[in-house]
Amino acid sequence: MFSAQRVDYSLARLAHYTATAPEHFQNHVLFTNYQFYVAEFEAYARAQLADPKSGYVSFVSTGNHEIRDPQAEIPATAKLPQMPTYHLKRADGNGITLVNIGVGPSNAKTATDHIAVLRPHAWLMVGHCAGLRNTQALGDFVLAHAYLREDHVLDDDLPVWTPIPALAEIQIALEQAVAEVTQFEGYDLKRIMRTGTVATIDNRNWELRDQSGPVQRLNQSRAIALDMESATIAANGYRFRVPYGTLLCVSDKPLHGELKLPGMASGFYQTQVARHLQIGIKAMEQLRTMPLERLHSRKLRSFDETAFL
C-alpha cells in the first residue's frame, strides 16, 4: 500500500512527532486525547515488568528512554513532543503502544497516516467525549458502532458517503473488557455503557454557536456522543486496512448544562482514567490472542483486493 519513499517519510515523521524511534512501536496501538492516561500507563507497565510471567520485556518513554527494571527511574523530558508516545514492549512486537494525540482531527489524521506504514494489528481510541443523551451520566462509556464524520480532514481521501463499519472482533473485545473491569453484566452493563453513533467534529467550541444546525444533524444521526478524533481514526483505519475501534468516556454533557469546568474535570479524571485505560489494555490483550486471519477483517478489503495477513 505504501511506496518506499512514503514509508521512509512516515518513519521520520513518527520519530519527530512522538520522540521515540519507529522500531519501538508495538502491534497494538491505543490513542488517547489526554496526558492524564500516561501516568496510569507507566504504572501498569512497571507492574507488568515486575511480573516475569507477563511477557512484557521493557517500557520505552519519550526520548527513547527504555527500562527493564520496574524500579528504574526515567529521566524527565525537558520538552514533550507534539504527540507523546510510550511503548510497553514484548519480544515478538505484540505489546502495546500508547499515543497521546492531543485534541483535534488534524492530529488524529497525522498520527494514523504515519503509524499505518508499520502495519499494526489494531488501533483503538480511548478518549473523552461529550454525552448527548440526558440519560447518560458522567463516567459512562460509549462503544461506537457507527460514526458521523464532520471532521473534514479526510474528505478528499475518503468520501463522506463511505460507510465505516463496526468490526465485530473489536466490538466484542471491548465489551468483554468493560464487563471484566467493571464486574457488570447484562442490564447493569448496558446501564453504564451505551452503544451507538459517535459524531466527530472539527470545532471544539461548537456549542458556543447557534446550535440549530449542529443539533439538528446530531439528532438526525441519532448520535449519542461527540468528540474530535474517533471518526478520523476509524476512517483512516478503514482506509489503510487497520482494524479499529472506539471506547469513549463521557466527561461532559454540553446540551444538558453539564460543562467541563476545572473542578469537576479534575475529580472526574482522578476517578475514571485508570479504569478506562485498563479496559483499553485488556481489550488489546484479548485481541492479541486472536488468530490474525480473524482479526484482519474482510470488511476492510474490497472484493478484488488480495487478502492481507
| DSSP three-state, residue 103 | coil
Q: Is the pLDDT of residue 150 over 70?
A: yes
Q: Is the pLDDT of residue 106 over 80?
A: yes
Mean pLDDT, to the nearest integer, of 250-273?
65
Q: Which residue has the higher pLDDT, 265 or 146?
A: 146
Q: Is the pLDDT of residue 28 over 70?
A: yes
280-289 pLDDT, tens per residue? Answer: 999 999 999 9
Nearest residue to 246 via CA among 134, 162, 141, 160: 141
Across all residues in the chain, what is the average pLDDT?
A: 89
Please state the pTM of the whole predicted model: 0.91
Q: Is the pLDDT of residue 309 over 80?
A: no
> How far from chain centre, in Å, is Cα 195?
16
Q: Which residue has the higher pLDDT, 3 or 136?
A: 3
Mean pLDDT, to the nearest integer, of 181-208?
88
Neighbours of 21 (CB within 10 A): 14
63-83 pLDDT, tens per residue? Answer: 999 999 999 999 887 788 999
pLDDT of residue 269: 61
Domain coordinates of the chain in residue numbers?
Answer: 4-300
Q: Is the pLDDT of residue 9 over 90?
A: yes
Show Cβ contacts of residue 288 under 8 Å, excluding neighbours closer than 6 positions.
27, 28, 94, 121
Show Cβ contacts of residue 183 under 8 Å, excluding neighbours closer than 6 positions.
none
Q: Is the pLDDT of residue 308 over 70?
A: no
Element (H, E) at 296: none
Instruction: Give the whole-angstrom CA distance, residue 57 versus residue 191.
Output: 38
Q: Assign domain 4-300 to a CATH class.
A: alpha beta
Mean pLDDT, to the nearest integer, of 56-61?
97
Q: Is the pLDDT of residue 122 over 60?
A: yes
